[in-house]
Each structure stands twice: as C-alpha cells, then as structure tokens.
Amino acid sequence: MRFLAILLALAQTVLAADLKVGAGAVKITPPEGAPMAGYYYNRAADGVHDDLWAKAIVLEAGTARAALVSCDISALPRPFIEEARRLIAQNPGIPAENVMISATHTHTGPVLLTAGSRYNLGGEMLRIARRYAEDLPGKIAESVRLAAAALRPAGAFAARGREDSLTFNRRFHMKDGTVGWNPGKLNPNILRPAGPIDPDVPVVAFGDSEVKPAAVYVNYAMHQDTVGGTEYSADYAFTLSRLLRDAFAPDLLTLFTVGCAGNLNHFDVAWADPQRSHGEASRIGTVLAAEVLKMMRRLEPIPAGTLKARSAIVKLPLPELKEGDLEWAEKIAPTFGRPDAAPFLDLVKAFQILEVEARKGKPIGAEVQVIALGKDAAWVGMPGEIFTELGLAIKTASPYRFTVVAELTNDSIGYVPNLKAYDEGAYEVVSTRCGPGSGEMLVDAAVRMLIEMHKEK
C-alpha cells in the first residue's frame, strides 16, 4: 500500500515531465517436440510447466520512444534481433537503435537455429525448430506493438535491493592450484571462490495516473538453469512474476533480465541438498520476489527528463588457434548433439574451434547499448554471457543513480570472461569465442556512453 501512496503523492511531479509507459506480452511457447537449448546434447520438449513469453515495456518522453524487451529464451542470436527490430521500426515505428532486446537465459526454452549449431538436428525436431525460428521475430515485434498501443501517462520509480543468499560464483580456486568450474557439492578440494558475486536487485516500477503499477522491471545476476528436464519453463523468473502479480494485480507485467552472470549460478557447494527441480526454481523465485516486494516500499521517483538511446559496435579479437586444432575439432564434430559421445570439455572446445575458424580472422562485432531516462536511470545491454566483474565495473563507473546491466542483450556471442580469467582456464574460457581483453573493451564502450549521455542536456 505504501507503494501506491508514493505513486499518488508523486504523480503530479513525474507526469509533468510527459512520460508515458505501456506494457505488452506475447506467448512464445513452442510446440512439444521442439529441441531444447542450454546444453551440448539434443533433448525434445515433452510438456509445458509454464509458458514462455516475450514481454515489452515501451517508454515515451516527448517525441522519443524506446522499448525494453525480454524473452524467455536461452539466447537470441543477432539475426533474430535484427529482424525483430526491423519489424518494430515498421510497426509501431520505434527506431531500431531505440530497441533493447534481452534473453532471460532459461535453459528450459527452445533452440534457435543459426548458421552454426552444435545440435545436429534432423527430422521433425529440425522442422519444428525452423518454423519456430521463422515466427519468433514477429512475436517479439507484436509484444512491442501491444505495449505501444497501451501507452498512458505514468510515473517511474526505482530502488536497488540486495539478495546475496541465492547467487554463487561457480569458479573456485582448488587445492591443486587450478581453477575449477562447478566442482561439486561439499568438494573437500575447494579452497575459495575465484571471483565475486553481484547481489544487486535493481527494481524499476512504472505506475499510471490511476495509481496502479502497470509494469515492473527486475534484474538479477544469476544463471537461469535451476530446473532441468524436458518441460518448457521460464525458470525462477516464472515464480517471481506470478508472486508479484498476486501482490499487486493480475495484469501486472514483470519484465525480468539477467545481470552479468557468466560465472554465477545457484549452486551452493556448502549445501549438500540437490538443487535442480521446479521446486528449487520456485524457492529461488520466492526469495527474489520477497526482496523485490521490500523494495517496492522504498522506491524513489525518477524524473522523466530526456529519453535517449545510443549504441556502439565493438570489434572484439578472436582467440588464437594452435596448429592441429582444426583437424582435432573436425574429428569431434560428428558427435555433436549426442549425450556422452565425447568428454564434455572436448565438445566445448571443438565447437569453439570450428566457430572461430569459420570467421576467417574477422573480429566479432559486438553491440553495447544504453537507454537512459533523465539523469537518474540507465539500462545497459551487453551481448553475451558476461563475467560479473565486468558488470560490477560498469555500475561502479556509471554516473546514473540507478544503472541496470542486462547480459545476453541484442546478441549472444557466448562467454565473455574478464582478463584475469583467461590465465585461469576452465569451462567459460575454453568456450569463449572472443580473445583476452574483449570484456574490458565492452566495459569501456558502455562507460564512455554512460558518461557522455549523462553530460548531455
């Protein structure tokens, strides 16, 4: 109730800045039998635990409009972003550069086929996957069209919570001097985590002139891989969204994005209990929802000011391949898509080598995007699975009071470690398609845009 009182008391101030907000959602659950993403082997979906959605929040301040979009998908490769933006530019007419599209990284969503695929699909699974890929950009664009059609005067409010009991750095210094990845629960050889976590829970709420929250944007840095199995699910974001609807209104839209969680997940190695089930996703979503609900009582007004969007394409170097790498990878390639056909890290390395080789030395063009509302709030979109140290660096350097950093936004270039991690090795470094220093290049681009945009009138 205090949230509603804050909205009522501040409505005159915020609405005077001519901010309008609309929210829209479109179901994007594939049919049963579609291939599921997230791992290095094929598995077909055989049911729906909860539906997958494309959710959009459209902001309008003066003549400027921007869209924040989140999809219950493991990752959105660049071609899907470009096609969705093209359709959005046509209807409802929001420029492509003002559209930020993120994937929630649920591992219980569909495979999105691109030119290179580690799944080796065939038959009915391939047919379903192709049809789904063709239809998805239009559904993303429709969520934005619905949000734009729902635009109405609104206030913007933000708070930053903290939840440090859910997310864990999954890289560890081990007693043998190596850095291990997901080394197992109660492993006696673990010394200490190899990096930090990011416990921030940024919350941005939008309420209209009827003193009712229409949409809430929530961000948290932790992998969405808590369920497993072969049922479609939005993972812990599903419970988060359901509980916030229960607390406020049946039509409340909760748009969730993942913070920089390339090296973070939910496994507590000091806790012996299993942690992969719908029950675990529900537990995590409930704890996270509780923190969001606490923050809804501590929201601060965000004067609308000017709405701006800017992006930069950063050319990232490729990892160096050694003599013999390509021949070795080509021997592993026939096993792609088959569980346990080859050692896990061999599959990871082989696929990385083939993708890097296919680029023929061409750098990765990675988009970094910033959307800013006034002088207080900014959203930063990063194009891969970004190590948390890099996200923390952006937030520390940002001049905006509330800075949200969302990974897997506008592309999915794979893991982006920080420079220190390259010498440590382990899964993410074996997997990465970009060379040392790439993460810091992305941080520099984001911070430069944040500072420049904050200085502008």
> What was the pLDDT predicted at 83?
98
More confident residue, 15 or 154: 154
> What was the pLDDT predicted at 13?
36
Cβ count within 10 A of residue 320: 9
> What was the pLDDT predicted at 386?
98
What H or E segment, with its residue span, contains residue 53? strand 53-61
pLDDT mean across residues, the chain:
92
Q: How confident is the model at residue 336 (pLDDT cuts 50, 70, 90)?
A: confident
User: Rounded CA gap, 409 and 256, in Å?
Assistant: 12
pLDDT in tens, 158-198: 999 999 999 999 999 999 999 999 999 999 999 999 999 99
> What was the pLDDT predicted at 400?
98
Q: What is the mean pLDDT of residues 204-229?
A: 87
CA triplet 407, 410, 411: central angle to 5 degrees?
A: 80
> What was the pLDDT predicted at 17?
52
Evaluate if residue 360 carries a pLDDT over 60. Answer: yes
User: Rounded CA gap, 196 and 189, in Å?
Assistant: 19
Q: What percent of the chain has pLDDT over 90?
A: 85
User: Rounded CA gap, 350 and 405, in Å?
Assistant: 31
> What was the pLDDT predicted at 12?
35
Evaluate if residue 11 carries a pLDDT over 50. Answer: no
Pairing mode, if any, of strands 253-258 and 213-220? parallel
Closest C-alpha to 388, from 154, 228, 170, 129: 170
Pairing mode, if any, of strands 253-258 and 300-301? unpaired
Domain residue extents for the chain: 2-304+373-415, 318-358
Evaluate if residue 2 carries a pLDDT over 50. Answer: no
User: Rounded CA gap, 234 and 28, in Å?
Assistant: 11
CA-to-CA separations, 66 to 3, 235, 337, in angstroms, rounded: 25, 27, 39
Evaluate if residue 22 carries a pLDDT over 80. Answer: yes
Q: How confident is the model at residue 201 (pLDDT cuts 50, 70, 90)?
A: very high
Collapsing DSSP to helix, strand or coil, 351 comes out as helix
> What was the pLDDT predicted at 38?
74
User: Rounded CA gap, 417 and 196, in Å?
Assistant: 13
Evaluate if residue 120 carries a pLDDT over 70. Answer: no
User: Rounded CA gap, 53 and 419, in Å?
Assistant: 35
Q: What is the mean pLDDT of residues 80-106?
A: 98
Convert 266-296 to b/e letters by CB count within 10 Å (16 or more is b). Answer: bbebeeeeebeebebbbbbbeebbebbbebb
Q: How confident is the model at residue 8 (pLDDT cuts 50, 70, 90)?
A: very low
> What was the pLDDT predicted at 41?
75
Q: How confident is the model at residue 208 (pLDDT cuts 50, 70, 90)?
A: low
> What was the pLDDT predicted at 4?
41
> What was the pLDDT predicted at 40?
76
